[in-house]
Amino acid sequence: RKEVEQDPGPFNVPEGATVAFNCTYSNSASQSFFWYRQDCRKEPKLLMSVYSSGNEDGRFTAQLNRASQYISLLIRDSKLSDSATYLCAVNRDDKIIFGKGTRLHILP
């Protein structure tokens, strides 16, 4: 089993819709969880950290389920500018392990 797994997509979603991504991790000792966004041919950038109690930043909500070892990202009222690849990341000791990413296309 891969340490961090994501559905590669692509997800093709109409503008204004809600879209959800899931990510599973295998290391139960992981303590820190993140979502990164990567635009085409650009570097990844931190979108948000994921806290135990869940957290929200505008249209974006991140959740953590430790018992099932997965994290999720919900995007509400999606915009054309949300089109990107979303990378899940989990810590292992002094490293961050990334999933392969989920591609999202928002359709006009």
Residues that bind another protein (CB under 8 A): 8, 31-32, 42-46, 87, 91, 94-101
Give min distance, CB of 32 to another protein, in A: 4
Give min distance, CB of 60 to another protein, in A: 16
Which is closer to another protein, CB of 8 or CB of 16?
A: 8
Which is closer to another protein, CB of 70 or CB of 76?
A: 70
Which is closer to another protein, CB of 79 or CB of 105?
A: 105
Which is closer to another protein, CB of 32 or CB of 65?
A: 32
Give min distance, CB of 58 to another protein, in A: 18
Would you call 77 exposed, middle or buried from its count of C-beta atoms within 10 A (0-12, 13-18, 19+)?
Answer: exposed
Read off the tokens for 93. 């000791």
What is the three-class DSSP state of 29? coil
Buried-exposed string 47-73: b where 16+ CB fall within 10 A, e elsewhere: bbebeeeeeeeeebbbbbeeeeebbbb
Largest CA-CA distance found in the chain, in angstroms, rounded? 42
Give min distance, CB of 14 to another protein, in A: 26
